[in-house]
Structure 1
């Protein structure tokens, strides 16, 4: 027996079934914002960690260079000190050297020679002092930067913990919402079936009465959808896919990237598993959803009605796949609940939401 989709929806309203999408809309929206904010907080904290580590590496490298230069600088300074001491002790000899000059030009040359020697000695000594001072300052800076890096790392860990917790909380709420939607849809369809059966029985009784009156053979009743099609309204028994287990970003991406890449192998979207996985983590979206929709809507990007639009999504187009993927995943988070559910299917593909739901679910389960 065929049942019109409109009848199922009407039955849902008539039987007073609660709409789970309305009850927690504000909470879900706040949680979605928390997910995006926590991801940004982690990225910022991690960037500070990376910057601090870069400074630490540079300072450690410089300390190594200074320590390598110090022995030669110490030796040179020691030699210069001894030379200056001898010059000071032999000051009479130096005076005699100047007085013994044959002319003023030679005096000037001798004085310049002595100045050059003194400058060389001073340079060697000052070089040691400068190196020692730089070494001390660099070590102090290194200690400060390590302390800052530890603080930034603690902030990054806290931000990551918050990000994972927010995603897990959203996943649990989504699962509860999807289950409620599926149950509501099944109850609506069951009510519609009962109403249709009652209507059919009443029509048969009326038809029998009419036929008895007219003494004509009985005809079998038929029922069609609003469009005249004979497809029966159904909701898949497996109403949702396996829940996503959220973890810190790197391990999440490392888990899902190869699985998505394997799924997309040989298609125009091949090699973009990392972008799908990163975008899914950033927006708290099931990482299988966008790739699966791309298969149902465009055979994984093979037949796109707009440039780089593999999802049959509005009239959008993008300059490249990475931009398109991130935009689509962000849209799934903000407008479609971020996971496959009855409400997602009804909104994304209203005319044939049941077939679309089943197809997307099948593709998700293969990733």
Structure 2
């Protein structure tokens, strides 16, 4: 069995005008967290001292100048910038966006180099992060560029897992972004993630239709008939336990999701509205399909409650736990499959 060590959790701070700093500190108020994880926050000691003062959090942390200075079982804050930043709660600010991007970029470098084991990202504001050097609609697209593999936005809780066929694209562009290749890739990623990351040996996956009522046999659009159904039939013939497409409007209300290990939604709101309705505060945004593990809470920057000490850290805490669980599950899966291959190789001799 794989030995579980104290896992190095790299944390990008998200938008400093949002609730990111608050939920990070609240998550590690419980000292038991430090028995399992070594958090490395990519930010500023001055900024986090300010957060601790505002929210009256006694969580102690130490500043470090290098990843070589990390102390296991302690909260480490990597000093990325010395200049002061004036927190303006709930405001969209380009400077805040620059800080969020720098934190993400440095944390990602540490992930790629192996100086941290997993990455947990606090929420960013998609408007403030945009610049000439950073033109991504969110974490998923940036990490897809930086890490190997094909990313999948996978919303996960203990009872529900929802992947997206298309994520941050306008609704009008959804059909044109769905191709036979993308359908096969996303389903393959979900299948592999369920096996490797969540220890489900024979995953059952349901797919939601593109159009209302799956197009009603072409009456409400023919995208399902032309793009989705033929690919699903092909995958079924190859042995994949794939079901659907199902009409999305009644699928969750009838609790059909309980019959499957994961659901693939055709577009963002089709999947995230039911997920957040059923799992909000407990769910995790997991970027499946990549070479490294990244998770995030299931909510945004919380600008409406920023600075009010009202943010709930439960989803961020769940993101930390899930990142570690997936990290360990991957190690165990890779070890087991490696041993199987060695045994099979010996038998052939």
TM-score bucket (shorter structure) = under 0.3
- Which one has the bigger helix percentage? 1
More strand per residue: 2
What is the TM-score of this pair, normalised by structure 1?
A: 0.22
